[in-house]
Amino acid sequence: MGATLFAINPFLAFIQRFIPRALDGFLLGYIFKGLYAKTGKLGISAAVTGFSSAFLNTVFFMSSLVLLFGNTEYVQGLIDGRNVIVFICAFVGINAVCEMISSTILTNVIALALNRAHLLFGDEEPRGLKEAVIR
């Protein structure tokens, strides 16, 4: 798909690939900071951030695909006359769900492991770490 979209419009293909992911990363930093400041629990903050990563990436990527290339013959062929929401759900389907589940679990486990190795917060133990629960 990427090569086809690049052939249609290289500039829009770059925008469609780069901006959603940059926006995703930017927002994830604030999501983690906000949750951690509010809850003080690393595990919960990391898990929600992991879920948000997969969810927001899917939303931003598919939104930009439809907005930037929705009128092209290629994407219209993929949509095949269906409702745009139905197309997005069918297009990402089970992959998005699996990505959200795995991202939630892995982000939590990795954050706790990095913190335990003193690689996440340095020598300072974050408040509430003892209450962090892997879910």
Q: How confident is the model at residue 123 (pLDDT cuts 50, 70, 90)?
A: low
Q: What is the pLDDT of residues 65-109, one digit of tens each?
A: 888 988 888 888 877 777 877 877 787 888 899 999 999 999 999
Assign 133 a pLDDT band (cuts: 50, 70, 90): very low
User: Helices marked H in 40-83 — which ranges?
Assistant: 42-69, 73-79
On the question of pLDDT at 124 being above 50, the answer is yes
| DSSP secondary structure letter of residue 120 | S
Dist. CA 98–CA 71, nearest whole Å:
29
Residues whose CB is less than 8 angstroms from the CB of residue 56 and which lie 6 or more positions away in sequence, other chains included: 23, 24, 27, 28
Distance CA 29, CA 69 (A): 29
Looking at the structure of the chain, the number of domains it has is 1
Q: From residue 80, how far is each of 13, 16, 77 by CA, in Å?
A: 21, 21, 5
* Residue range of the domain that includes 30: 2-131
Q: Is residue 25 scored above 90 in pLDDT?
A: yes
Residue 134: alpha-carbon gap to chain centroid: 20
State what percent of residues in the chain have pLDDT above 90. 52
pTM beyond 0.85: the answer is no
